[in-house]
Amino acid sequence: MPKLRITIKKKQQSQKVLDSQYKLKLLAWFELMVPSYISDWIKTHQPFHSQTGMAIKSWKVTPDGNALRITNLMPYTYWLNYGVRPHKMTYLLNNAMAKKMAFGKYAYWGRLAVPLNGSAGLFFRSATVKSMETGKWFHPGYTGTQFLEKSLTAFVESIKDQFPELQLSVESLP
């Protein structure tokens, strides 16, 4: 999942002293404001389509020294942000086998089905070794939107006037 940090430092020329109480209040304010700002930015700019909305509203901000660590609870936001290369989806063969019913009365063991949107509407497919070998399970890839960096940079730019004594920067974390 994407992890970024907003670092808060005192500017060299600033006369204001950053005492620990002020820092704690500032970090608490950021902790409240950053998730809602990211969510609002995503809703406004719509860099991706979220069927459930969980990628939009599941942001977590944790203090990390004089910085804030921003993460999302949904693991797929990493790929929404950075993108995915085209690849064969062999990981679908590792899906758990489950008891299924055919025609409502015949039980058998098979892989869990994957929902897909087609021209006829929603349908379900299960990955098999044979279908994998014939190239039917190939992901075309997805270009990353870099929405997290863009939204955090916009957030930092929008509050620079409120905190002229601070040097705010956005950086990626491993």
The dihedral built from the CA positions of residue 6, 9, 13 and 18, taken in this order, carries a sign that is: positive
pTM of this structure: 0.71
Token pair in block for residue 55: 């990628």
pLDDT in tens, 59-104: 988 887 777 888 888 888 888 888 999 998 888 887 666 676 666 6
Residues 35 and 46 in one domain: yes
Residues 50 and 113 in one domain: no
pLDDT(105) > 50 = yes
Domain count for the chain: 2
Report how far residue 67's alpha carbon sits from residue 166's, in angstroms, rounded to the nearest whole number: 12
Report how far residue 33's alpha carbon sits from residue 6's, in angstroms, rounded to the nearest whole number: 12
Question: Is the separation of the CB atoms in 64 and 5 below 8 Å?
Answer: yes
Ramachandran region of residue 146, left (φ > 0), alpha (ψ -120 to 50) or beta? Answer: left
Residues 52 and 13 in one domain: yes
pLDDT in tens, 28-65: 888 889 999 999 999 999 998 887 888 888 898 888 77
Residues 133 and 152 in one domain: no
Residues 153 and 134 in one domain: no
Residues 77 and 149 in one domain: yes
Structural domain containing residue 134: 87-139
pLDDT in tens, 112-124: 777 778 888 888 8
